[in-house]
Structures are given as structure tokens and as C-alpha cells.
Amino acid sequence: MKKRLLSLLLTVLLLSGMMPAALAGYENFTAQASYTPGQFTDVKESDWFAVNVRAGVEYGLIDGKTPSAFAPNSPLTVAETIKLAACLHSIYVTGSASFASAQPWYRPYVNYALQNGILAAERTDYEAPASRAVFAEILANALPAEALTEKNEIANGEIPDVPSSAPYAAAVYHLYRAGVLTGSNGGRFQPDSTIQRSEAAAILTRMADPALRQTVELSAAALTAADIRARCLPAVCKLSAYDAQGRVLGMGSGVILSPQGDAVTCGHLVNGVKRLVAEMPDGVKREVGIYDLDAARDIAYIRVVGSNLPYLELAPLPQAGETVYALGYPGGGAAKVTEGCVTNPKNTEYLYPLIESTAVVISGNSGGALLDSRGRLVGITVSSRDSGSPSFSVPVSAVQELEHGTAVTPAQYAAAHLPDAGGCYERLYPVPDFGVVTGAPLLGMTRDRGTHCFYYRQSDLTDGTRQLLLYYAALNENTFYQFSDGAFTSSAGYLYSVQMYETSYQGVPALGVFVSGMQSKAVGGLPHAA
């Protein structure tokens, strides 16, 4: 009975035309053409790719540019990449790769790729050279996932120049783990380089023949500054802050932490502003909302509008002596990487411990990334000395202590976080009261035209540096103040500046806090915001 049922089923399949030409699998990759060593004058038997060229020709997957030249160093176009993927898939599934002629020549291959999940959507760059990243994305879909069994254990983020947040990362890591991709120079993939025909032949035939797949051992060597820039820059944006009239208040940097656009920057860049705009490295501009801000730590948790955004991986606090890289937009110009080393991972000169390093940063770096030698985020740049070094960064762990609720527009955030007028100088709201903030009793007060002068006994400033820093944080909690040359100057439409002098009052050594709309040379010892 069983034989009769099988026979009947076979008859039905034959009559209905449903009988497949071949079962899907690697056994479909058989010699369909002959290959003679030396038939391509530019492929020597000693070349690393010679065995792959031979297999590719025999399987009917790839051929020479001419009957006598393979052109191993020539680049492939995106259309040629799609053709290779379509042929690979068709042979694996049906045992053959037969496509009709059409105009343009690649249309049948594109249609096949769209129908079989090799391409998710039409492309506009068919005639352009294919990058190694594009090649990997397309080829990874040419075989079912189960056909690319894992041969190598490679953790996400371990490939030196392929962050796990890159849009092509899943495809690249899949092919590395299967032994199809091996990289070079410590496992580097070089995603932005064009794919050469020799490389394409190797990748293609390793997919068709598991016996050709390679064991991959990635080097633990540190990345170079160039590697850091290529790996991390897509997740570091330029931030511009605006007032209600659309005037630029300041420029800095921001770092994206998730595909949904969760990001972090310095607090002094965003507090009190009415609008924030992030300019991505590709030139796209995106609106920015605010989750929370901690002026004492000088850090803000923000959201860059968008989805599937590149982001950085986080790393533990670095140790003294470790190499670090600062990546941001100094001066509001082009992105720049500076290399340094950690001199103190927990500098306690400030309200909260900061990472001190020799990486040079200047104004515009504020809110940018401090990265370890693997390109992972360890801190957010907030300040530096006058020379740009040493520089100081908030440990990225501080982000976890901020509110993670709903992001609102900067204008909404500013309106919802107006300061308490009770803690401010009379008629000088929103300037906070130095004495209330620091606990120092007022020694005296004078007034000179539009300037209010508040004096505090030096001996009452039991921890002068910390008290000054507390006031610095209070100023930033109250409105958007810029710090320069020892003075806080409001840039949010307020007419007041705050300056501090070491002076005397009625013969008593004192700290003078001067609140006015007038500018004069100031003295003081607060750290400069980067």
C-alpha cells in the first residue's frame, strides 16, 4: 500500500508539473564548465584566490572578463553583485541558473532577487561599484540561514571596523561566523572599500562549498585613530542649540546610544534652549528632544528623532594608562579624533568624579564621545583646561541615573523646569543666589548703576572649589549660561552676566559675585566648558 501511495503521488506531481528539477542543497553545485590552469593569464596557481576562481568557473557562478583575463583586481558593480547572488540562490534551490535576456541586462536578476528575499527593495545604484559592506548584505541573503552554519565564535563588536550597530553588521557577522568572510590585518573587514573580483570569487565559492570555508581568528590589536573615526563617527552628531528667535546659542556634539535615537550630550549645551538640531555625518538634520538633564554632572539624556540609527556600544570605566580617543566637532566644524591616555579615571576635583585624560578637546567637543581602544563609549566630553588638555569626561554610567521617560521638545522641557524664584536674587531672576546655593553667609552688598555686588567672606568658603562648582551647576540649572574667561554670560535672551572676583569688602578678604548686564574683565578658578 505504501509503495502504491508513493507511486500515485509521483504520478500526480509529474502530471501537474510540480516535480522539482533538483532538491535544494549544496549537491546542486557541480561542475558545469571546465577550467584549465592558466586559461586566465592574470590568475597564477600560486595566487591566494586561484582555487576560488577555478571553483567559481566550474560551478558556473562567475567567469572571466574576457576568455583569457579574469581581472582579479577589478571592482564589481552592485548589479553584478546581485547577479552573483541570484545565480547562487537559483543553483542552490533548483540546480540551475537560467535567466532571460532583458534591458537593462541586470533586470531579470534584480526581479529574481526581489522575489526571493535577496533584496528587500529596489536600489538606485545598480551601476555603481559595490562596497564590501553592500556585497556582504546582498550575498548573506543568497542562501538560507541554516546553510551557513557557524564555524567561528565571534562576539558582536569583535570585528575591529564593524560595530554591531552598523546596518550591514548582521550580514557581516553572519558570514564571518560561517567562515565565508575572513577579513585582513587582524580581521578588519574594510566595509567602505570596493569589492574586487578576486574577493568576490572567494566569498562566492565559500558559500557554495563548505569545504572552502575558513577558520577566523581575530586579533585583539587596538584600533588606530582612523579605525575609530570610521567605526564610530556615524553615531556621533553635531548639535546646534537655538533660542526662541532662531538664533544660534551654541554648538557641540552628541552621541547616539540606541537605534531609536536615544542619545547623550553635555548639559550646558542644551539647558534653557528652545530648539536642538542634530546634524548627522551624512548631512541629514534631525530634531532633538530632551529626556532629562543633570546640571551638576553636566550631562543630558536626549533623543534624536529617527529609527535604525547607528549607535555606540558602552564599555566599563577605563583604567589609568589606557588609550582613549575623543571624537566630536571642535569649533562646530568637521569631526575630529584626538588620541590620549587616561591619567585619572576618577578625578574628584569636581562635584562628581570625571575621567581625566590627555585627549585634547576644545569648544564644540562638548557632548562628544570618549572612546576606548575598541571604539566603545566610556565617557562624554564636558570640559578641559585652557590648552585643551587635560580634558574631562562624565562616565557613561551616569546616563543610567537620568530619567528615561518621554522625550519632549527643548522648549517644553525649559518651560517645565523653570527655576524656583525664591532661590534667586531679588529682581534678578533667574540668577541663583550664591549664598543659598553654597551655604555661605552674605557679608555685604553694594550697587553700582546696573551691577549688584554680593560679597562673601573668604574664610566662610570652607571648600571654595566645590562651592564655586555648586554655583556653576546652579547657574546652568536656571538658564543657558556660557562660561568664558572666568565669567558666566547668559545666551538665552537674558541680559545678565555673572562674574566673580577675589577682592575685599570693608577690608575683609572676600569673593565678589557681580550680577549685571555689563561686561568687564573677571577672575575666577572655575573649569572651562569645552
The more confident residue out of 304 and 157 is: 304
Task: Please give the Cα distance from 158 to 171 (Å, whole number).
Answer: 14
pLDDT on residue 194: 94
What global pTM score does this model have? 0.69
Average pLDDT over residues 498-519: 84
Question: pLDDT for 226-255, tens place per residue?
Answer: 889 988 999 999 999 988 888 888 899 999
Assess whether pLDDT exceeds 80 at residue 466. Answer: yes
Tell me which architecture the domain covering 224-414 has in CATH: Beta Barrel (2.40)
Tell me the C-alpha to C-alpha distance, in Å, between residue 120 and each of 117, 143, 149, 522: 6, 15, 23, 61
State the average pLDDT for the chain: 85
Assess whether pLDDT exceeds 50 at residue 151. Answer: yes
Banded model confidence at residue 4, pLDDT cuts 50, 70, 90: very low
pLDDT on residue 9: 32
Cell (9 digits) for 399: 546616563
pLDDT on residue 273: 85
Assess whether pLDDT exceeds 70 at residue 7. Answer: no
Is 194 strand, coil or helix?
A: strand
Assess whether pLDDT exceeds 90 at residue 471. Answer: no
Q: Which residue has the cell 522625550?
A: 407
Residues 6+ apart with CB under 8 A from 405: 291, 292
Assess whether pLDDT exceeds 90 at residue 464. Answer: no
Average pLDDT over residues 465-477: 82
Assess whether pLDDT exceeds 90 at residue 79. Answer: yes
Assess whether pLDDT exceeds 80 at residue 462. Answer: yes
DSSP-assigned letters across all residues of 88-120: HHHHHHHS-------SSTTHHHHHHHHHTTS-S
Assess whether pLDDT exceeds 50 at residue 519. Answer: no
pLDDT on residue 227: 86
Question: pLDDT for 167-206, tens place per residue?
Answer: 899 999 999 999 999 988 777 888 989 999 999 999 999 9
| DSSP code, position 421 | G
Cell (9 digits) for 485: 574667561
Return the percentage of the chain with pLDDT > 90, whole number.
Answer: 54
Assess whether pLDDT exceeds 50 at residue 10. Answer: no
pLDDT on residue 15: 33
Banded model confidence at residue 487, pLDDT cuts 50, 70, 90: low
Task: Please give the Cα distance from 188 to 173 (Å, whole number).
Answer: 12
Domain-wise residue ranges, the chain:
23-212, 224-414, 418-529
Task: Please give the Cα distance from 202 to 209 (Å, whole number).
Answer: 10
